[in-house]
Amino acid sequence: DEDIAAALKHCEAAESFNHKEFFTKVGLAGKSTEDLKKAFYFVDQDKSGFIEEDELKLFLQTFSAGARALTDKETKAFLAAGDVDGDGMIGVDEFATLVKA
């Protein structure tokens, strides 16, 4: 909980979100692939099997309801970093790769 709070505080300002730093600060970067899959399904709000742009926009709010939404620029950069196959969504394997990168 402390790690999540610190990571959220670090990216409070608009345009300050960096997915690599965030994943490291909350401890996801060091997790097993199995744990990352569990985290993926937590972020996949509509349970479609993919994280779409609208879910990425609200990514920080999956960790804390009071967190800000990502800006359009941050959301598009986050999606571009994780969407390896270019389908406009992040699948579970793409998410695991993104977190470990």
Which 8-state DSSP code applies to residue 51?
E
44 belongs to an annotated ligand binding site:
yes
Phi first, then psi, for residue 90 (nearest 5°) are -115, 120
Residue 83 marked in a binding site: yes
Ligand-binding site membership of 94 (annotated): yes
CA neighbor of 45 nearest in space, from 53, 25, 19: 53
Q: What are phi and psi of 48, to 5 degrees?
A: -85, -15
Q: Are 7 and 26 in contact (CB under 8 A)?
A: yes
Annotated binding-site residue? 87: yes
Q: Is 64 assigned a ligand-binding role in the annotation?
A: no
Q: Which residues are annotated as a binding site for Ca(2+)?
A: 44, 46, 48, 50, 55, 83, 85, 87, 94
Which positions make up the binding site? 44, 46, 48, 50, 55, 83, 85, 87, 94
